[in-house]
């Protein structure tokens, strides 16, 4: 029985695709191990997969979340203060976890795992979660640090390449701790781990649908676009809709669903307050998925609030979905086949939201301008224009037809058989 290690770090949006693939591998007779923060130990063990600890053991404090979701400084804070300094400590963790393993699968920012794959010369499959990790001069991304540049995406590939190189030059300065650690292992500095350095030379799995981005001439040649590997369970809340929420959905027209995913929800600010006021203006039914947030105001008639609900069960029953643009939420919303209002916070969310807008399934609103009046106006336009619903339904059929877990398992099996 071959043993496969899947190394990941980050939020539930980063963990869930690995769980989906791990369970798929397990069904095929492989032993699958998830290496990640101790924060997720019990969740992983409850699935029946094996767990291995890998630093950093994440701090999900609201203050850290607020810092890293600052659109301009957030990526630098995350890399320079959290992830890059953790590489020397994470490396022995991952080396220990790799004992007896036949292949490693790495997440885009599991930097120590990527280094271990190269140092130990193991069969290696890397992954990217969102199109932002595959920047192309033919399909230029929208960066959180400069979302206004989206208006220039129609410029020539040469101009787009200049902008990409400029962006890479800025972040290359951050990688000094990683280069120094690689040197201590006798490895060359390597390419920037945020760009080409994260990719396996053997196989790169792009874990998003082709409706979000199609292969580009300047992507790594070994890239396979497989779709979204869905895992949609929160063991602490059970695996099905709350009975009260089920009754609410049955008792009236489809509601608007408001959610901030698994990370931005810790930095909600006035999102839920303004959303409730928008619901009152629209007179629509609504479901607010609030996480650990406490609402200190009365809910209007036809509105309910819950900590969490499985997206795969609630999104298809929505009239529209308001969300933060995280790639996992985007995937579930696309599969749900309903129109969206995206309010990006940071990182890949600006690029994801822009892609949804270009696809014709969403409108985009800036976080700074998210108010009851603006949200109500955007939702009114979204719900009144039938083209959004038609395009969302069409796109949902495409996304649901993809077998991402099967494609991932096929690719991993090919490399493991090597």
The DSSP bridge partners found for residue 35 are: 7, 52
Over residues 337-385, the pLDDT tens digits come to 999 999 999 999 999 999 999 999 999 999 999 999 999 999 999 999 9
pLDDT in tens, 225-279: 999 999 998 776 666 788 999 999 999 999 999 999 989 999 999 999 999 999 9
Question: Does this chain's domain 3-228+402-417 share its CATH topology with 239-401?
Answer: yes
Question: Could you give the percent of the chain with pLDDT greater than 70?
Answer: 99
State the Cα–Cα distance between residues 105 and 118, nearest whole angstrom.
12
- Contact residues for 394 (Cβ-Cβ < 8 A; gap 6+): none
Extents of the domains making up the chain:
3-228+402-417, 239-401
With a CB cutoff of 8 Å and minimum separation 6, the contacts of 52 are 5, 33, 34, 35, 93, 96, 97
3-228+402-417 architecture in CATH?
3-Layer(aba) Sandwich (3.40)
CB 339 within 8 A of CB 380: no
Tell me the percentage of the chain whose pLDDT exceeds 90.
79
Query: Which pLDDT score, from 0 to 100, does residue 143 have?
Result: 87
pLDDT at 297 over 70: yes
Residue pLDDT, tens place only, 63-111: 888 888 888 888 889 999 899 999 999 999 999 999 999 999 999 999 9
Strand partners, 323: 342
State the CATH architecture for 239-401: 3-Layer(aba) Sandwich (3.40)
DSSP string, 248-293: HHHTSSPPEEEE-TTTGGGG-TTHHHHHHHHHHHHT--EEEE-TT-
């Amino acid at each position: 029985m071959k043993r496969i290690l899947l190394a990941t770090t980050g939020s539930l949006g980063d963990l869930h695709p690995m769980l989906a693939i791990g369970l798929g591998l397990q069904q095929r007779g492989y032993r699958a191990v998830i290496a990640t923060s101790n924060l997720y130990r019990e969740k992983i063990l409850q699935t029946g997969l094996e767990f291995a600890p890998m630093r950093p053991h994440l701090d999900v404090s609201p203050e850290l979340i607020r810092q890293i979701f600052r659109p301009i400084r957030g990526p630098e804070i995350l890399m320079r203060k959290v992830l890059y300094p953790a590489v020397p400590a994470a490396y022995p963790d991952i080396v220990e976890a790799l004992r007896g393993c036949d292949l490693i699968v790495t997440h885009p920012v599991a930097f120590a795992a990527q280094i271990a794959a190269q140092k130990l010369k193991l069969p290696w499959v890397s992954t990217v979660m969102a199109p932002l990790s595959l920047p192309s001069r033919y399909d230029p991304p929208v960066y959180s640090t400069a979302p206004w540049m989206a208006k220039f995406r129609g410029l020539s590939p040469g101009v787009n390449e200049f902008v990409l190189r400029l962006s890479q030059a800025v972040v290359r300065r951050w990688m000094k701790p990683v280069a120094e650690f690689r040197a201590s292992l006798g490895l060359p500095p390597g390419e920037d781990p945020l760009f080409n350095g994260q990719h396996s030379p053997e196989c790169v799995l792009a874990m998003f649908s082709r409706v979000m981005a199609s292969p580009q001439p300047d992507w790594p040649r070994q890239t396979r676009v497989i779709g979204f590997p869905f895992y949609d369970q929160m063991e602490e809340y059970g695996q099905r809709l709350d009975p009260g929420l089920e009754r609410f959905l049955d008792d009236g027209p489809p509601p608007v669903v408001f959610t901030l995913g698994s990370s931005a929800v810790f930095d909600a600010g006035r999102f839920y307050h303004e959303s409730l006021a928008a619901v009152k203006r629209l007179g629509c039914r609504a479901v607010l998925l609030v996480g650990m947030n406490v609402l200190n105001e009365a809910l209007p008639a036809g509105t309910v609030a819950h900590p969490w609900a499985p997206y795969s069960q609630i999104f298809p029953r929505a009239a529209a979905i308001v969300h933060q643009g995280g790639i996992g939420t985007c995937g579930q919303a696309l599969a749900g086949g309903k129109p969206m209002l995206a309010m990006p916070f940071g990182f890949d969310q600006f690029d994801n939201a822009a892609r949804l807008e270009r696809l014709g399934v969403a409108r985009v609103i800036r976080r700074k301008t998210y108010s009851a009046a603006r949200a109500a106006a955007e939702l009114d336009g979204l719900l009144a224009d039938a083209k959004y619903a038609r395009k969302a339904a069409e796109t949902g059929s495409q996304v649901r037809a993809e077998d991402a877990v099967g494609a991932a398992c096929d690719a991993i099996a090919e490399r493991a058989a090597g």
